[in-house]
Structure 1
Amino acid sequence: MLPYAKVIVLGSPISKSNFKLHNKNGRAILPSNTGQAHDKYALYEEEIAYYARSQNPNIILDESLIAILKVYYKSDKRHPDTANITKSIFDGIEKSGLIVNDAQIRRIITEEFYDKENPRFELEFYGESQFELSYTIKKVEIPIEKLLYKPITTGKVGQNINTPAKTTANSNKIVCEFCRKSIKEIDPIKANGGKTLICRSCFTKLF
């Protein structure tokens, strides 16, 4: 059997690259049952793992791999950064057992497309023992319309605006992202680059 596998997961791809939550020992975790918006990252990985395994029964790729990833977004105007989308996808694939470790993926080609009716990603793996990768870049004979990108507005020129900690409507007290109660600790637990604050009680319940 050739060292090959293909995974198709329907739905708009999501990226978890900007979300970080760590346990008491400093290890990164991804909770899935808190009832909060953060659960979507872990649930998306589980969905990817399910389809990867069900679409490739009895296949385990344990050699170095070439990966061809085609991501189809709903819109060309608003979607995650394609450069970051691979993290969520490959973590889900690794959980499925289809590959041993995402470090096996030594060559990656990622392509971005748009399909309003059927957003999805399609991922193919090729074992390097029997496949090789080649590509060609050439000048087009007839130029096509430019797809232009606008810079992200962050406030004043040269100034980045950080998202403030969430507060209650009637005060400036910091509240927990999960239980919505006021955090009394002087040094609350921070996640997601400091944008998410968690009281120690809720943090303990995550384990």
Structure 2
Amino acid sequence: MIKTYAKVIVKGSPLSKSNFKLFNVNGRAILPHNSGKYHDRYALYEEEIAYEARCQNPGVVLGEALIAVLNVYYKSKKRHPDTNNITKSIFDGIEKSGLIINDAQVRRLIIEEFYDEINPRFELELFGESTYFIDYKILKKEIVEEPIQYSPPPNKSKSPKIHNSKSCASLHQNDKLHCEICGKKIKKENSISANNGKTIICKECLTKLF
């Protein structure tokens, strides 16, 4: 019987491949596994994923287009890899296991982020599109919860801030002005600023509005 579903669970905090890529003197990307350095962790993690995928799905090979649902459980809410970056590391390991032919088979991907201090892990479900389809919707909560706030990384340079409307107006003066309505280039003397200097409208369009 041809299988159209598989599930893989790998315990431990997921690792992001982008954090472990090295380059040799010729500029070719390498990923050592026995250098004795911290970078070995990723290659070993990829092998662990491949091993678990094969042990949990013996003899299964999914060769068709797939829908993937990835649930990631981190140990901490504040310190963990970028969820968007870990998919590459996970699917490289799944492909290496032989459970799938190529990670390009995954045409639809849903990722959800959770937290479990005691049992960090990821749970991946793969569904064959010949048998399964996605049906989902986003609903507004009846009771608003406390938001999870994020702050920029400490090493990220801060972008210049514009403190008032005068600064906005000065930016418009330095650049070529364009009417927000008709899109035509206009001279400063033929323009009207609105919305505290953030919006520029030509006098012709302003006349049409009224």
Tell me, yes or no, whether TM beats 0.5: yes
Gaps of 5+ in 2: 161-210
Which one has more relative contact order, counting CA pairs under 8 Å at least 6 apart? 1
Q: How far did 1:32 drift?
A: 0.3
Distance 1:21 1:153, change over 3 A: closer
Query: Per-residue deviation at 1:79?
Result: 0.4
> Greater helix percent: which structure?
2
In 2: Cα distance, 1:31 partner to 1:44 partner:
12
Q: Is the 8 A contact 2:54 2:97 kept in 1?
A: yes
Q: Amino acid of the residue matched to residue 114 of structure 1?
A: Y
SS at match of 1:17: helix
Q: Percent identity?
A: 67
Q: Which residue of 1 aligns with 2:86?
A: 85
Runs (5+) with no aligned partner, structure 1 = 160-207
The 5 Å alignment of 1:1-207 reads 1=1, 2-22=3-23, 26-154=27-155, 157-158=158-159
Structure 1 vs Structure 2 CA RMSD: 1.7
Task: Give the aligned residue type for 2:61.
Answer: I
Alpha-carbon distance, 1:152 to partner: 1.8
User: Does the 8 Å contact 2:67/2:127 carry over to 1?
Assistant: yes
Give the counterpart letter for 2:142 in structure 1: E
- Provide the secondary structure at the position in 2 that maps to 1:80: coil
- 2:158 is paired with a residue whose SS is coil
Structure-2 residue corresponding to 1:198: none
Q: CA deviation at 1:91?
A: 0.3
What is the aligned length?
159
Distance 2:146 2:156 in 1: 30
- Dislocated runs of 4+, deviation >4 Å: 23-27
SS for the counterpart of 1:137 is coil
- 2-side partners of 1:52 and 1:156: how far apart? 40
Q: TM-score, normalised by structure 2?
A: 0.71
In our comparison, the structure showing a higher alpha carbon Rg is: 2
The superposition leaves residues 85-141 of structure 1 with CA deviations (integer Å, 9 ceiling, x where unpaired) of 101100000000000000000000000000001000000000001100121101111
